[in-house]
Structures are given as structure tokens and as C-alpha cells.
Structure 1
Amino acid sequence: MKRTHLPLNGLRVLDAAARHLSFTRAADELAVTPAAVGQQVRALEDTLGVVLFRRTTRGLELTPEGERGLEALRDGFLQFEEAVRAMQAGQSSRSLTIAAPRDLTHKWLMPRLSEISAREPELRFVLVVADEGVDFAQANLDLAIRWGEGPGEHEGEAIESDGMIAVGRPGGGADTRISWPGCLNEESVSRVMVGDAGLAIEAAAAGLGHATVPELLARADIAAGRVEVLGEPKPYPRGYWMVAPLPQWRQKKVRALVDALAA
């Protein structure tokens, strides 16, 4: 019989019924009705072409044909359990590989991971710099954080933020606009151009001018007094998203990380 044709549900019912020698108790174990157990047994008998149980005055009895296959069947179920445990081992791993833009990693992600690590010291993190698209399979990633208008082709959750804000050195600095690739005034001519929003914050803190950056990135520098907010936050369709393909997204360790980062 081909593996694709193995009557696995029927074999599971056979194992339970043979252990209890009762369709009723087997039904309780499997959370189905006794009638459903009987139907599964009859279907299995039709498929195999043998009689597996007989009803006697003493109750339910296994036939010799039924007994003959039980040991191998139960060994097989033990192998299934081992296979499931092996597949779940990856979910119980305490190592997480995360890809994120360099400025987000420096300004937001590493401080958050430090807080998480203090609570769970057995965790191990591998950080990958990824300013553009990421290949989950090639990089063996668990989670990626990227800048965009949504999760794209993956599952995802947005990181809460107030949009874009203008920041400058407290007490004033150069009256100069600082630009970076992807900023709101990217197409305008600026006297200071830097590689990313994180460097724009540093340039503003150094007094080189003012920069419009994601509020999420500037949050810690604002709290530390390195820069101050100029004007009101501006809503923006783009933001930072935690994303992963569905299989990774469903993993317990990834879900726990997403919840911790979003908290």
C-alpha cells in the first residue's frame, strides 16, 4: 500500500480501541462518538480485507489478524511522535536571527533586545543588516523589520509610531535641512546629505541642522535630551513593519519576540 493511501485515522482508532477493548472508551479518548469509532473500524476492515474485532459475551475481542499488526503499529506511532518532537525542536530553540536596517538596529532594536535579554538571559540573537529586501530562506531568518507601507508578501505587524517628526539640537543649531534617502524632502536640495535617518539624527544632535525622521528612531534621543522636536508630528503612510513568511510567523519563539518588541 502506498504511503499516500495509508488509512492513518483508522489506524489511530484501531490502536485506541485495541487498548481499551471498548468503542465507548476509545471514543472518549479520541473525543468522538462511539458510532464514529465503529464506522472508522468498519472502514479500516474494508480497506484491509480482514476482520479486526469480534463481539463476544465477554465484550470486545481482537482477532488474530488485528493482534498481528498491533506491535508494528504502535512502534510506528512512537516514530511519529519522535518526528513531531524533532520538528518542534526548532520552535523551542533559544536563538533568533533578525534582519533590520542599520539605523533602526542601532537606534531602536538593540536597546529593545537588551531589555528582553535582561528578562530572558538564555536567549541568543543574531542580527543581520538589511536595508533593502531580505531572502528568508537564504539568510535563515526568523524575523525581519523593514520600512514600507505594509508587510508586503509576508505576514506582519506594524511597530507603533507617531509618523515623521522634525528634530534639531536643543537650544538651536544651524538653520539647515538635513536630508537622507527616503526622507520627506528627499527631492529638495539640502546642504547636508547623510546615508540614513539614524545619521540624520546624529547630524541634528551635532548642530548641523534639522532633520525630518521617523519618530520611532528619534524616540530615545528625544528622551535623552540629545535632540528636541520641532513642530508637530506628520502622519506618513510608511512605517516599520515586523514581517516573516507564514511558517516562521507561526513559531512560538517568533510570536513571543514580536509581542515583546511591540510592547
Structure 2
Amino acid sequence: MKRTHLPLNGLRVLDAAARHLSFTRAADELAVTPAAVGQQIRALEDMLGVVLFRRTPKGLELTPETEAGLDALRSGFLEFEEAVRAMQAGQSSLSLTIAAPRDISAKWLQPRLAAYAANVPDLKFALVAADDALDFTEANLDIAIRLASGPGENEGVALGAARFVTVESAAGGPDMRIDWPGCLESDQPASIRVADGGLAIEAAANGFGRAKVPELLAQADLAAGRVRQVGEPIMVSASYWLIAPLPQWRQKKVKALVEALTA
């Protein structure tokens, strides 16, 4: 069934003018000019084919046609308000769905989520593995972490500098490359190939050689002394970004999470 086009702006003006029986007071409520109220009412009268108000020496009076529709109109606006509240309820929910690569999730994200949740009772997370074809709507995501050169078409904030570091076992190790899909190219022979940067750090800690990984990914292991840095950081074009489309980015729960993760 095709829905009739509803002139919502005009109906809102009609409701205000009918309550106040004054275009001036309706204009004050709606933060517009009395002339704008009059234009909306005339346009609505033209569309509906009825007269909505009588102008009398004492002021405005409602016509029978207006009186016949006011109760249903006001009931409809109450239903709209209920619908808006229902849609906004998700913003105040205590559940966040986050997509992130497995390595940054394990090495960086999860410890920070645990610390954040410790101060927010009943907070729950759903973590999913990120991929290149990330679809926020299909996956029902609130926010994601990507290793990229920027947020792309989404809103976003960088989580750290665009740098890689070279790490090896704290006890030293062979001058061999640990290969993983995101590593920087090198002429060194590879001693082992692993699936991601987190496993590359583990391989380095276990003495397989040296791994070039994002600086953010290696922070915890460097601080714990599990691996040590070799040489200076290497500037690159990509860093980890928190990203989300604008509607998700505007959610209160997402804003609070972004603030906690970037503090």
C-alpha cells in the first residue's frame, strides 16, 4: 500500500497555531517568523482543500475541519515521539559490536576494553574479525579498527603514529626475516611465515628472527620486555584508525568508547 505524502512541517505548524490560536505565539515556539507560519498554513490549506482557521476580530478560530483532525494529528505526533525514543534506545544500550584485525584486537584492543568495562557496569562487547570488505550495516557494527592511510569515506581518528618497528627476542636472535602478509619488504631471507603481525611478534619473542610490525601492535610486548626494538622506527603511510560511518560515529556509546580508547 502506497503511503500518502505527509506535509509534516505544515502539520507541525498547524498543531502549534491551533494550540496557541496565534500565528505570533506559534512562530515564537517554532523559532520562525509569523509570516513563515502564515505561509505554511496557506500551503497546507491549498494542499488539503480546506480552510483551517477563521480570522475574527477576537483572533483566530478553528474551523470544524481543523477540529475534526486535531486529536488524530496530536496522537500521531505522540507516536512519532515514541518511534524516535525507540530508535534512540540503541544509543544508550550497553552493547558494542567492534570489528578489528585479530592481532590488534588481542595485543592492544582487548586489554583496553577490559579496563574501560571495569568502570562501566554491564557493558558488553561483541568482537568480530575485520576484513577488507567491511559492511557496517550488514554486520551491524558500531565501530571498527583498520590499518589504513586514513578513515576513507567514514569518520575516524588515528590511534597512533604511522610507524613500523623492528623487534626481536629480548635475548637476541638470528638476522632472519619473519614474514607476514602486512610486513615491509626486505631482502633478508625469511625464517618463518605467519598469518599476522601479532603472530610475527610471537615468532620474534620465540627467537625466529626479526619482525617488522606496526609500532602500536608491539607496544605491550616491548613494555613487558618480551621483545626488544632493533634500530629506529620506520615511517610508513598507514596507521591504525578507529572508523565508523557518521550515524554510528554520532552515537553516545561510540563517542564514549572513542574517548576512552584515545585518552
Q: Normalising to structure 1: TM-score of the pair?
A: 0.90
What amino acid is the match of 2:238?
R
Q: Which residue of 2 aligns with 1:53?
A: 53
Distance 2:246 2:4 in 1: 25
What amino acid is the match of 1:54?
R
Q: Which residue of 2 aligns with 1:33?
A: 33
Is 1:238 aligned to residue 238 of structure 2? Answer: yes
Give the deviation of 1:39 after TM superposition. 1.6
Distance 2:165 2:4 in 1: 58
Q: Is the 8 A contact 1:156 1:241 kept in 2?
A: yes
Bigger CA drift: 78-87 or 172-181? 172-181
Partner of 1:191, secondary structure, is strand
CA RMSD of aligned residues (A): 2.1
Q: Normalising to structure 2: TM-score of the pair?
A: 0.90
Give the deviation of 1:140 after TM superposition. 2.0
Deviation readout 1:87-113 (Å, 9 max, x if unpaired): 222222211111111111110010111
Say how many residue pairs are matched. Answer: 262
Q: Which residue of 1 aligns with 2:143?
A: 143
Report 1:178-257 matches (<5 A): 178-185=178-185, 188-257=188-257
Q: Is the 8 A contact 2:162 2:237 kept in 1?
A: no
Q: Which residue of 2 aligns with 1:72?
A: 72
Distance 2:158 2:79 in 1: 41
Q: Which residue of 2 aligns with 1:92?
A: 92
Q: Is the 8 A contact 1:52 1:65 kept in 2?
A: yes
Report 1:146-157 matches (<5 A): 146-157=146-157
Moved over 4 A (4+): none
Distance 1:68 1:212 in 2: 74
Give the deviation of 1:165 after TM superposition. 0.5
Q: Which residue of 1 aligns with 2:10?
A: 10
Q: Is the 8 A contact 2:197 2:213 kept in 1?
A: yes
Distance 2:121 2:49 in 1: 58
Bigger CA drift: 3-12 or 93-102? 3-12
Give the deviation of 1:233 after TM superposition. 0.7
Deviation readout 1:3-39 (Å, 9 max, x if unpaired): 4532211111111111111111111110011111112
Is 1:43 aligned to residue 48 of structure 2? Answer: no
Q: Is the 8 A contact 1:162 1:216 kept in 2?
A: no
Amino-acid identity (%): 69
Partner of 1:212, secondary structure, is strand
Distance 1:110 1:65 in 2: 62
Is 1:102 aligned to residue 94 of structure 2? Answer: no
Deviation readout 1:27-84 (Å, 9 max, x if unpaired): 1110011111112112222222222222333322212222111111111111111111
Distance 1:69 1:15 in 2: 10
Partner of 1:108, secondary structure, is helix
What amino acid is the match of 1:21?
L
Q: Which residue of 1 aligns with 2:115?
A: 115
